[in-house]
Amino acid sequence: MTGQPYRLLSEAEWEYAARGGTKSAYPWGDDIGTGNANFDGCGSIWGSKATSPVGSFKPNAFGLYDMHGNVQQWVEDCYQSYVHETSADGSARTTGDCDNRVLRGGSWWDHLRVLRSAARMGGLPNMRSDYIGFRVARTLVP
């Protein structure tokens, strides 16, 4: 509809966006707190039951909603059990064994440890569930 190309975020882009300019476990600090995200044990009406409507929890400092909890988000990168270095330009790792791709952010079904900004999981690209989704990005050309 827009005539513009869209894509999945790279893992590095996702983490930068999720942190919202912080270095803490969550954009609001190192403790999950209450009323910040939809996850198993959060105490909201959706926790461990279903996705919540976008905007049910506060956005991070970049104005992004639901980077933590609600649904796990696919990113473009191939899953590697440990990422010890990232690309200088933040691009996705798309070489090597790409049988599994990376999921970030945790979901309404996950416990809080999976919601940390640095937490990551691998999954088969054809995996489908009501707790998995994606966020799209558009590369801006100067």
CATH number, domain at 91? 3.90.1580.10
Share of the chain above pLDDT 90, in %: 81
- Residue 89 placed within a domain: yes
Q: What is the pLDDT of residue 89?
A: 84
What range defines the domain where residue 27 resides?
A: 1-50+68-142
The pTM is what?
0.91
User: What distance in Å separates the CA atoms of residue 57 and residue 85, rounded to the nearest whole number?
Assistant: 32
- Residue 62 placed within a domain: no
How many domains are contained in the chain?
1
Q: What is the pLDDT of residues 47-86, one digit of tens each?
A: 999 999 999 999 999 999 999 999 999 999 999 876 656 6
- Residue 102 placed within a domain: yes
Q: What is the pLDDT of residue 84?
A: 56
What per-residue string of b and e applies to 33-59 under the rule 16 or more CB within 10 Å gives b?
Answer: eeebbbbbebebebbeeebbeeebbee
Q: What is the pLDDT of residue 119?
A: 94
The residue count for the chain: 142
Q: What is the pLDDT of residue 82?
A: 67
| Total Cβ atoms within 10 A of residue 17 | 19
- Residue 32 placed within a domain: yes
* pLDDT tens track, the chain, 142 positions: 889 999 999 999 999 999 999 999 999 999 999 999 999 999 999 999 999 999 999 999 999 999 999 999 999 999 987 665 666 788 998 887 799 999 999 999 999 889 999 999 999 999 999 999 999 999 888 8
